[in-house]
Amino acid sequence: MTTASPAAKERSFTDSIKDAGLAALVALVLASAIMGLRTTSLPGVGGLVVVPDLPLVVGAVLVVFVGRLLLDLFVWRKIIRIPVGDKWYRRPGGRPLAHHAQRLGIMFGPALLVFAVILPFLPVSDRYVMDLSILVLTYVMLGWGLNIVVGLAGLLDLGYVAFYAVGAYSYALLAHYFDLGFWVCLPLAGILAAFWGVILGFPVLRLRGDYLAIVTLAFGEIIRIVLLNWYTFTNGPDGISGIPRPSFFGLEFERGEHGFAGFFGLDYSPMHRIIFLYYLILLLALLTNFVTIRLRRLPVGRAWEALREDEIACRSLGINTTNTKLTAFATGAMFAGFAGSFFATRQGFISPESFTFIESALILAIVVLGGLGSQIGVVIAAVVMIGGLEILRELNFLKVIFGDNFDPTSYRMLIFGLAMVVIMVWRPRGLISTRQPTIALGGRKPISGEYVGEGQG
């Protein structure tokens, strides 16, 4: 099992069997306790009892055996060749995909944009599709925001969701205590989130790498715990409900003459608000993208990337690294704040439950899987991850196979975690790893990901 290097091609089929057998043995050991012996409480018996579950163990061992064998035969050692697949995963640098993406990328972005703009008017767009699209776009925006911090400046932030929470709570609390509307609160939420970014960032930004990651994680948790326990101010775990919905230039989405539908002489439909929210988040996301692209071509953006490449060299060139890091942190936090207040107005209800560490991990995974620094990569990764997570909710059809006791939602996160591991092992640098230069004398040539630094802090 320890010798599954791709180079060892000469070995025979029996070796593959042996290797898969070993893997199955390990699987047997792993599965024996946790899967094979289930603790449950039976009626009438005090405490827990252990119920053996042999079929599950056998199933797991078989899956591992067959899976390992197939992978070994077709992918790692290629004892049996598949004619088409070769180009895809064979090359270590991952050139082909990046190359295609590059060539397609020129048309891909605009095409995607056009698609996003006309989506609400497509026949497939029912309530479900629109809700899902809004969710995906929210994560695209968060991914783009975090991309500034992690992808450009190379600062590993595991507490990004804290700024999302600050944005959401800013709007909810301002609306609750001061009766302010969405449009007033949106910039305020962004400013407050950026402000918190500076406050939290200032002491910690001299830390490097994993230490920065763990401290940002700690800050994220602190903010969540405070929101959870400051009952008099934030209503604690019960959350804040009745958050006002956004208006369209003063027109509320409601029945009657003074509503949006009445004003434009349309029939009232609840979809209007959904479509409006969709365009709102699309606009916010595009604003994030536009500003990021602009900033990359400005001195501050170049300084961020230079910081990621070599901090000491930056200092030797007169760049104030603390300020530069802070601007990256604050800019990223600001966009999270915008996204947060959008989230609050869309849900109408928020509670600390929505801002757990797993959200930060999800956003970071989107950024890393998309390819650090790549704007289009974030979009692809967000569609795949968020779309995938939602599709996993719809696994009820599997009940046909596994029986009625099968509960697809509990498998959702399990599959999600596995997918994270598999994609990362498959493409450690993300789907699109090339970097676009920000300025050129001749033509702009994409830079291969292997040259691009990953940041120290």
Q: Which of 229, 241, 269, 396 binds other proteins (CB under 8 A)?
A: 229
Mark 283-302 with x for binding to other proteins (rule: CB under 8 A) and - for no binding. Answer: --------x--xx-xxxx-x
Q: Specify the amino acid at residue 166.
A: V
Q: Which is nearer to other proteins, 201 or 244 (CB)?
A: 201
Q: What stretches of 206-298 show up as alpha helix (H) in DSSP?
A: 209-229, 231-234, 260-263, 271-296
Q: Which is nearer to other proteins, 76 or 268 (CB)?
A: 76
**Nearest distance in Å: CB 278, other proteins:** 26
Residues 399-428 that bind other proteins (CB under 8 A): 410-411, 413-414, 416-421, 424-425, 428
CB crowding 129-148: b at 16 or more within 10 Å, else e: ebebbbbbbbbbbbbbbbbb
Residues 363-382 that bind other proteins (CB under 8 A): 364-365, 368-369, 372
Q: Which is nearer to other proteins, 86 or 210 (CB)?
A: 210
Q: How far, in Å, CA of 375 to CA of 151, rounded?
A: 10
Task: Answer for the pair 381, 431: CB distance below 8 angstroms, yes or no.
Answer: yes
Torsion region of 358: left, alpha or beta (phi above 0 gives left; psi -120 to 50 gives alpha): alpha
* Inter-CA distances, 210 with 11, 334, 457, Å: 40, 23, 7
Task: Answer for the pair 351, 169: CB distance below 8 angstroms, yes or no.
Answer: no
Q: Which of 214, 251, 287, 395 binds other proteins (CB under 8 A)?
A: 214
Residue 45 binds other proteins, judged by CB under 8 A: no
Q: Which of 144, 171, 219, 343 binds other proteins (CB under 8 A)?
A: 219
Beta bridge partners of 40: 49
Mark 153-192 with x for binding to other proteins (rule: CB under 8 A) and - for no binding. Answer: ---x------------------------------------
Shortest CA distance to 105 belongs to which of 361, 371, 306? 371
Residue 396 binds other proteins, judged by CB under 8 A: no
**Nearest distance in Å: CB 228, other proteins:** 8
Q: How far, in Å, CA of 136 to CA of 111, rounded?
A: 17
Q: Which of 128, 211, 233, 402 binds other proteins (CB under 8 A)?
A: 211
Q: How far, in Å, CA of 339 to CA of 162, rounded?
A: 12
Q: Which is nearer to other proteins, 14 or 405 (CB)?
A: 405
Q: How far, in Å, CA of 217 to CA of 225, rounded?
A: 12
* Inter-CA distances, 262 with 32, 251, 411, Å: 65, 10, 45
Task: Answer for the pair 35, 57: CB distance below 8 angstroms, yes or no.
Answer: yes
Q: How far, in Å, CA of 441 to CA of 124, rounded?
A: 46
Q: Which is nearer to other proteins, 398 or 414 (CB)?
A: 414
Mark 304-323 with x for binding to other proteins (rule: CB under 8 A) and - for no binding. Answer: -xx-xxx-xxxxxxxxxx--
Q: Which is nearer to other proteins, 71 or 79 (CB)?
A: 71
Residue 63 binds other proteins, judged by CB under 8 A: no
Residue 353 binds other proteins, judged by CB under 8 A: no
**Nearest distance in Å: CB 344, other proteins:** 24
Q: Specify the amino acid at residue 245.
A: R
Q: Which of 203, 250, 256, 348 binds other proteins (CB under 8 A)?
A: 203
Q: Which is nearer to other proteins, 121 or 451 (CB)?
A: 451
Site residue total, other proteins (CB under 8 A): 103
